[in-house]
Structure 1
Amino acid sequence: MAAAMELRCWGGDWGLPSVHNESLVVLAYAKFSGAKVNISPIDWTWKTLTATVPELVCGDTSVKEPSQILNFLRKQRFNADYELSARQGADTMAYIALLEEKLQPALLHTFWLDAENYANLTRPWFASHSPFPLNFLVPSRHANSARSRILLTRGEAPLCRITEVEGKLYSDAKECLNLLSYRLGEANYFFGNLPTSLDAFVFGFVAPLHKAHLRNSPLQSHLRKLENLTRFCDNILADYFSSAQPGLPPSVQETMDANLQKLTQLVNKESNLIEKMDDNLRSSPQHKLHRPQPKPGLVIEKSSTPA
């Protein structure tokens, strides 16, 4: 029997199964490929402070980074790309690289470095999902990581400060969204009638921008003009995540199951009682079917022979 797979990731909100872009990519791909994955929202403690999410754990194997996790799932025969041609596979890699290079830096800036969004949405959310005193440390740690990542990838001289690269970040991100919108067109998915890894990456990167209640985001305003991309996200949520509702607590579920079992037993007893009463009524003498006795004259006439 194959070992159970556990996915450690940030939890969900804003109508999304996860608010974390890369976690959302893996969650979507697991749904598309039919992989059964147990979701474990990350619990930030001192021990897991340096943990990297998403992280897929299967037996003694631990896999991090979305691309590595998707490769691991494919090796386990959960492959959402099995119908893609070589050309489509190459296009997938190119578009994923485009997302990571052009869109991801602007998303990091939108959620973590924009002062208004950080103060009113990002920091309060991540702080509320971290225990004291880590609720003070985790948001600032992520913000610093986002700043370093942007400057590392986009801070070429002479653009060496966030304020200097900000305009270029959003210009590239809007261009990336335009290309994705043009490529998607009126189709439900990027390749054919079934979602693939490219759909998972686009959904993971675009859906939080679409659903988050941001105070200040020109990128979100631009996205809302691209109706096919927002419809793409809404359709995936409806088709693959609408049934992912939080379950009842075990005690409540056990009580409901016990009550249902008692109700079933009661109905069965009543059904048996009704059947026995019906049998007794049918076998009682006063309810036997009596055939009427023929009149004597009719019997004589019937038994006599004509002269």
Structure 2
Amino acid sequence: MAPAMELSCWGGDWGLPSVHAECLVVMAYARFCGAPLKVNVIDHLWRAPRGSVPVLILNDTVISQPAKILNFLRKQKYNADYELSTKEGADTLAYIALLEEKLLPAVLHTFWVEADNYYNVTKPWFASRIPFPLSWYLPRKMSGEALNRILLTKGGPPLYSLTEVEAQIYRDAKECLNLLSNRLGTSPFFFGNMPTTLDAFVFGFLAPLYKVPFPKTQLQDHLKQLPNLCHFCDDILICYFRSNLSGATPAGQDTVDANLQKLTQLVNKESNLIEKMDDNLRKSPQHPPRKLTTLKLSTGGEANSSPNRLSP
């Protein structure tokens, strides 16, 4: 038996298997391609072998960063992109680069830099899952790292002040969301009916932004105006992560309840019809059955006339 692959990542809440975007990318890709990962939820980053998550461990091999983890899974024959053409593969790389340049800075700002969101949601959530005294230090460290990452990519000329940087990253993020919405259209996934690497990245970046109840919702409000991206996140959560969640998402639960109600109504309708048919049979004149010797059916006719035969 092959040794199990273990994935260290932050845990989940609000209907998400993980609230951490990059952890969600790897978890979604593993579900898409059927990779057997054992998920280990951590309570602080120093428990991860390299001090950051997500981290994949197989025997003595330790891999961090989503792109490297996904490449490793492909080498292990777990490839969600095996049906993509060369052009689609190139499009995947281009869109992932766009996500990391245009959308990720705004996601990081929403979680870790926006003061109301950080002090009311992000910091309390992470602090409640980190043992004291690290709960006082680690969220602040993660916030500083997020701000440094934003300024490293967006803080150069002509944007010098933090206010200018914030305005620009949100403009870029909204344009990116519009582009993703137009690219997805009415398809279930970005390359048709099967999820791929691009779907894993988009889901990982969008799902926390979509589900976490922030007080400042500038980017979240824009996302919710793009219903196909919201349905995209809901469908992946329901189809690929339902068994790991304590319950379905509110929108997903409404769909499940509606379908269950329709099914119940259909069963009741069929039951009433069968009862009426039974009553009619009881009231109708009864005829003695024919003798089998009087039935002359060919082999083909016998098969086609069988009362138990199911139509395709």
Please indicate the TM-score interval, normalised by the length of the shorter structure.
0.7 to 0.9
Unmatched 5+ residue regions in structure 2?
A: 247-312
Query: Which residue number in structure 1 is paired with residue 230 of structure 2?
Result: 230
Query: Which residue number in structure 2 is paired with residue 279 of structure 1?
Result: none
Matched, 1:178 2:171: no
Matched, 1:123 2:123: yes
Matched, 1:86 2:86: yes
How far is 1:159 from its partner?
1.6
Instruction: Tell me the secondary structure at the aligned position of residue 242 of structure 2.
Output: coil
Measured in 2, the distance between the counterparts of 1:88 and 1:50 equals 33
Deviates most, 219-228 or 161-170:
161-170
Matches within 5 A, 1:114-153: 114-153=114-153
Say whether the 8 Å CA contact 1:45–1:134 is kept in structure 2: no
Structure 2: which amino acid aligns with 1:127?
A
Structure 2: which amino acid aligns with 1:113?
V
Measured in 2, the distance between the counterparts of 1:95 and 1:49 equals 30
Measured in 2, the distance between the counterparts of 1:95 and 1:238 equals 24
Q: Residues 161-199 of structure 1, C-alpha deviation per residue, up to 9 Å, x if partnerless?
A: 322201000000000000000000001000121100000
Matches within 5 A, 1:191-210: 191-210=191-210
Query: Which residue number in structure 2 is paired with residue 65 of structure 1?
Result: 65
Structure 2: which amino acid aligns with 1:133?
P
Structure 2: which amino acid aligns with 1:129?
R
TM-score (norm 2): 0.77
Measured in 1, the distance between the counterparts of 2:186 and 2:46 equals 47
Instruction: Tell me the secondary structure at the aligned position of residue 147 of structure 1.
Output: helix
Count of aligned pairs between the two proteins: 246
How far is 1:84 from its partner?
0.2
Measured in 2, the distance between the counterparts of 1:228 and 1:45 equals 34
Change (3 A) 1:52 1:155: same
Measured in 2, the distance between the counterparts of 1:128 and 1:43 equals 9
Structure 2: which amino acid aligns with 1:20?
H
Query: Which residue number in structure 2 is paired with residue 305 of structure 1?
Result: none
Structure 1: which amino acid aligns with 2:118?
Y
Could you list the runs of 4 or more consecutive aligned residues of structure 1 that deviate by over 4 angstroms after TM superposition? 45-50
Query: Which residue number in structure 2 is paired with residue 269 of structure 1?
Result: none
Q: Residues 175-230 of structure 1, C-alpha deviation per residue, up to 9 Å, x if partnerless?
A: 00000000000010001211000000000000001101010021000000000000
Matches within 5 A, 1:39-118: 39-44=39-44, 51-118=51-118
Structure 2: which amino acid aligns with 1:182?
N
Say whether the 8 Å CA contact 1:210–1:230 is kept in structure 2: yes
How far is 1:27 from its partner?
0.2
How far is 1:43 from its partner?
2.9
Unmatched 5+ residue regions in structure 1?
A: 247-307
Identity of aligned residues (%): 60
Say whether the 8 Å CA contact 2:45–2:53 is kept in structure 1: no
Change (3 A) 1:59 1:90: same
Structure 2: which amino acid aligns with 1:19?
V
Structure 1: which amino acid aligns with 2:21?
N
> Superposition RMSD on alpha carbons, in Å?
1.4
Query: Which residue number in structure 2 is paired with residue 16 of structure 1?
Result: 16
Matches within 5 A, 1:206-221: 206-221=206-221
Q: Residues 64-110 of structure 1, C-alpha deviation per residue, up to 9 Å, x if partnerless?
A: 10000000000000000000000100000000000000000001111
